[in-house]
Amino acid sequence: MTGIPDRNPAPRILVLGLGNILLSDEGVGARLAARLARDFSFDGNVEVIDGGTSGMELLEPIAECDVLIVVDAVKTGKAPGTLVRLTGNAVPAFFMNKVSPHQVALSDVLASLRLTGEYPGEVIIHGIEPESLATGLELTHTVGARRDELLANVLEDLERLGHRPRRFTPHSSAA
C-alpha cells in the first residue's frame, strides 16, 4: 500500500429501469432491470435498480453515480419496437418533448441534481418505442421481440465502461 489515493477509480454506474409493469410495453424498463438483477452479476461499482414509476426518491442513488444508464419506453413517433440510444446533448433535448410517461419525474430529478452539482458525468438513455400502453401485464409481441437486443445494448455499454457482467448459469450459484 502506497498511501497514494487512486486518482482514477472505476466509475460508479447505475442502471435504472423505469416503467409501470401494469401498462403493457410501458413496463419494459422495469422488466429489463429485473432481468439484469436476476440473470447477471456485476462488480461492486454497478448497481441495478427497478425504478418503476418513482420520482424524487431516485435523487440519492442517481446523485451517487458517475454514469446513469436509463432504460425506458419512449415515444418518439417512430415505428413500435424501434430502439433509441441517447447520450450527451441529446438527453436534455429528449426531455423537451414529451416522450416518456416518466419524463417529468426523471427530468425533475436530473434538473435538481444539475442545480446541486451532483448531475452524473454521463447519462445514457436506452429506449424502445412502445406499441401499446394499455392495461396489461405482458409486453406486446413487437416490443417483446426486441427486448433481447435492448438488453444487449445495455450490456455493451457496461462493457464499454469497463464492466463485464457475468451471466448466472444453472451451476454458477452452486459454487
Predicted TM-score of the model (pTM): 0.87
- What is the pLDDT, as a whole number, of residue 91? 80
Mean pLDDT for the stretch of residues 111-125? 93
Which residues on neighbouring strands pair with residue 47, listed in sequence order?
14
- What is the pLDDT, as a whole number, of residue 1? 45
Measure CA 36 to chain center: 10
Model pLDDT for residues 124-156, shown as the tens digit of each residue = 999 999 999 999 999 999 999 999 999 999 999
Most confident of 89-98, 100-109, 159-168: 159-168
Mean pLDDT for the stretch of residues 8-32? 91
- What is the pLDDT, as a whole number, of residue 88? 87
The answer to the question of whether 47 is labelled as a binding residue is no
Q: What is the rounded distance in angstroms from the CA atom of residue 72 to the CA atom of residue 102?
A: 9
The answer to the question of whether 129 is labelled as a binding residue is no
Q: What angle do CA 167, 170, 173 make, to 5 degrees?
A: 80
> Does residue 172 have a pLDDT over 90?
no
Model pLDDT for residues 36-84, shown as the tens digit of each residue = 999 999 988 999 999 988 878 888 999 999 999 999 998 888 999 999 9
Least confident stretch, 6-10, 109-113, 115-119: 6-10
Locate all alpha helices (DSSP H) within the chain, ordered by sequence.
28-39, 59-63, 90-96, 103-115, 141-144, 147-160
What one-character-per-residue DSSP string does 121-146 give? SEEEEEEE--S--SSBSS--HHHHTT
Q: May I ask the CATH class of domain 13-161?
A: alpha beta
- What is the pLDDT, as a whole number, of residue 174? 40
The set of cell numbers assigned to 42 is 456485476
The answer to the question of whether 102 is labelled as a binding residue is yes
Please list the helix, strand and coil fractions of the chain in percent, rounded to the nearest 5, in that order.
35, 20, 40
> Chain-wide mean pLDDT for the chain?
86
Dihedral sign, Cα of residue 11, residue 12, residue 15, residue 18: negative
Q: Burial code of 19-58, b = ≥16 C-beta within 10 A, e = fewer? A: bbbebbbbbbbbbbbebbbeebebeebbebbbbbbbeeeb
Q: Which amino acid is at 17?
A: G
